[in-house]
Amino acid sequence: MNRIFSGVQPTGNLHLGNYLGAIRNFVRLQHDYECIYCVVDQHAITMWQEPAELRRATREVAAAFIAAGVDAKKQIVFNQSAVPAHSQLAWIFNCVARMGWLNRMTQFKEKAGKDRENASAGLYVYPNLMAADILAYKATHVPVGEDQKQHLELTRDIAQKFNNDFSVPDFFPLTEPLILGEATRVMSLRDGSKKMSKSDPSDYSRINLTDDADAIALKIRKAKTDPLPMPATEAEAETRPEVDNLLGIYAALSDRQRSDILAEFAGREFSAFKKALTDLAVEKLGPINADMKRLLADPGYVDQVLKDGATRARAIADEVYDIVGFLRP
């Protein structure tokens, strides 16, 4: 069976974008693939994280996977740092990947910003760790958004060079991207040109998976729009980014086409659409929210799921060392 690896960073408040862009797909994919879902805490620390907050966020991401419907008994759910193979293989890949390859990575340039000299070395070699995450399990497919495509190409280059260097032609697979229909990119509720993000300082910019019905209603009511009524066509919606974003959220949550939703709401007051969106969001996110609360009230249970996942992950990940020539007395 084909195998998927995917991860989410425990870097703050999980939000609707993480759900629609990643976690919901994790649930859907488990019917057709063997799935390994990781809370990538080592990636998270490429930027400073408060230790206590990192622990809390790690449990929150694991709880969100389970609450959304990932079957942690059938699939593997664990946190990255609990399986040493990720860092060990990443070190091997630091020695396989070339500086020139890493220098081309656009995400490093974006995240490091103008102050490149002051970025962590971890942020620079982050793509090698991502390659290790994927190849430690010989994952055949990775669901990727636009922003991660370049890193997956690097993973394929690393796999190919490793296989050549060590004369093991088929050891690492050339992992394929998994494109899941039209990508859902959820934008900030305050600014339709910025993506919804865990690290946005404004809590009103996002719907957190831990928000209750009142908080969801308040944030949708306050979401930035314009004074015009609902647009009639998709082309008209596209000229109004905040409106287009709410329409996209409605479409994704209801699994309906944008055109279908516009046919229902065209020309109506925006407040009627916001009310319907609130009801829909509460209906879809309410059960996940309740289950996350239940799970987070029992951290011992979440830790046990992660521990069990790590044990099963470790059993798959340890094969590479003999090939490299590491003595393991």
Q: Which residues are near ligand AQP by CB under 6 A? A: 8-9, 11-12, 17-18, 20-22, 145, 184-186, 195-199
Spell out the residues 6+ positions from residue 35 whose beta carbon is closer than 8 angstroms to its own: 3, 4, 6, 26, 29, 70, 75, 76
Closer to ligand AQP by CB, 36 or 96: give it. Answer: 36
Closer to ligand AQP by CB, 24 or 274: give it. Answer: 24
Least distance in Å: CB of 159 to ligand AQP? 21
Closer to ligand AQP by CB, 29 or 320: give it. Answer: 29
Residues 73, 74, 111, 222: which is the catalytic one?
111
Least distance in Å: CB of 11 to ligand AQP? 4
Closer to ligand AQP by CB, 62 or 96: give it. Answer: 62
Partners of 141 in beta bridges: 4, 176
Least distance in Å: CB of 227 to ligand AQP? 26
Least distance in Å: CB of 90 to ligand AQP? 16
Residues 73, 114, 138, 198: which is the catalytic one?
198
The residue number with the shortest CB distance to ligand AQP is 21
Closer to ligand AQP by CB, 184 or 289: give it. Answer: 184
Residues 74, 138, 195, 275: which is the catalytic one?
195
Active site residue 111: yes
Active site residue 224: no
Active site residue 284: no
Least distance in Å: CB of 188 to ligand AQP? 8
Amino acid at 272: A
Give the residue numbers annotated as catalytic, written as ranges: 111, 195, 198
